[in-house]
Amino acid sequence: MREASFYEKLEDRKVQCRLCRHHCIIQESKRGICGVRENRDGVLHTLVYGLPCSYHIDPIEKKPLFHFFPGSRAFSIATAGCNFQCLHCQNHDISQMPRNENRIPGEEMTPAEVVKLAGESGCKSISYTYTEPTIFYEYAFDTAKLAREKGIYNNFVTNGYIEEEPLKTIKPFLDGANIDLKSFNKEFYRKICKAELSGVLATIRTYKALGIWIEITTLIIPGHNDSDEELREIARFIKNDLGVETPWHVSAFYPTYRLLDTGRTPPKTLRRAREIGLDEGLRYVYEGNIHGSDGEYTHCYHCRKPIIKRYGFTITDYNIKDGTCRYCGTTIDGIGL
């Protein structure tokens, strides 16, 4: 436990957290929405610093990041807690535990130990993932800074709700991010995630303005966010606000947690979403959570030939040299290609 960053002290020992866009006003002895930032005697503390509940070595494609050192490994780490309350959270057992069970599990591990493990395991990057990296910001910041000194890159897998100032502060050490754009409907965000769409869009724009490499993921849930109109709105937002070079991952939903009355996403829905993205002019659109289609491939946007073939999280063929297509010489967007 240590004092948190980005908060203001108010009257009557209250504090206001300014780390994410919820801006929680927290009374003494209470916690914010994330469940892991607590007001003790008028001082806001993070309860998860140096206390990861999960860490693992993953292929970077699992994040999913397809244009960020493809084929490399990422040392993935998370603490308990989340500032969203998504009804379909696949990691609800750790993300919602502080709220649902009033418990914060974890194993003590300093930032230096994280960086040491990442280096020894040959990981190109550290991925702050599984839950929401914003809620363990101080831990992620100190780890990312040490990682940069050791030549290890850093990426966030995030819901995109961090405030502008903390994002700007960590920017010198943050190289990439996969950001969820769960819907383009404000009622979806309010009902399913307990958050505001406007805050997510503002954060995504800030990532882009800061020059952090970003890829966008939309989990397509039948009957909730799978209409052609909404998918086209997302594709147009990516094109107009982020650029055609920004990869879009459209992924299949599987019933989980508290959203069990909706079936799996049909493969044809992912194909349709990918076609919409490409029709709108995006260079790279990928189908996720369903393996065995060329929707997992990276195609050169100029000659249209497949230049990275994938099956799941494994690269089976690679035809990029010095960041360019081997067939026509077109520069392919990304980092470490």
325 and 311 Cβ atoms separated by less than 8 Å: no
What's the pLDDT at 208?
A: 98
Residue with tokens 């909730």: 224
If asked whether residues 273 and 215 sit together in one domain, one would say yes
34 and 135 Cβ atoms separated by less than 8 Å: yes
If asked whether residues 32 and 115 sit together in one domain, one would say no
If asked whether residues 112 and 207 sit together in one domain, one would say yes
pLDDT in tens, 111-146: 999 999 999 999 999 999 999 999 999 999 999 999
pLDDT in tens, 260-290: 999 999 999 999 999 999 999 999 999 999 8
If asked whether residues 26 and 112 sit together in one domain, one would say no
SS3 241: helix
If asked whether residues 78 and 133 sit together in one domain, one would say yes
| Separation of alpha carbons 173 and 262, rounded Å | 39
What's the pLDDT at 293?
A: 87
Mean pLDDT over 4-26 rounds to 98
If asked whether residues 75 and 30 sit together in one domain, one would say no
If asked whether residues 304 and 204 sit together in one domain, one would say no
Residue with tokens 């910041």: 141
What's the pLDDT at 1?
A: 82
pLDDT in tens, 192-222: 999 999 999 999 999 999 999 999 999 999 9
Q: Is the omega angle on the peptide bond into residue 266 within 30 degrees of 0, that is, cis?
A: no
Strand partners for 248: 216, 285
Cα torsion for 88, 289, 106, 112, to the nearest 10°? -140
| Separation of alpha carbons 12 and 62, rounded Å | 46
If asked whether residues 132 and 9 sit together in one domain, one would say no
Number of domains in the chain: 3
If asked whether residues 34 and 161 sit together in one domain, one would say no
If asked whether residues 168 and 304 sit together in one domain, one would say no
What are the CA-CA distances from residue 34 to residues 100, 113, 171 (Å)?
Answer: 11, 25, 22
What's the pLDDT at 292?
A: 87
293 and 318 Cβ atoms separated by less than 8 Å: no
Quickly state the pLDDT bin for 291 (edges 50, 70, 90): confident
Domain that holds residue 323: 296-337
pLDDT at 253 over 90: yes
Mean pLDDT over 149-174 rounds to 98
**114: CATH:** 3.20.20.70
What's the pLDDT at 64?
A: 98
Nearest alpha carbon to residue 5 among 138, 125, 120: 138
Quickly state the pLDDT bin for 305 (edges 50, 70, 90): very high
Q: Quick one: what percent of the chain has pLDDT higher than 90?
A: 99
If asked whether residues 217 and 327 sit together in one domain, one would say no
If asked whether residues 77 and 26 sit together in one domain, one would say no
Nearest alpha carbon to residue 302 among 323, 280, 322, 328: 328
| Separation of alpha carbons 242 and 205, rounded Å | 7
pLDDT at 106 over 90: yes
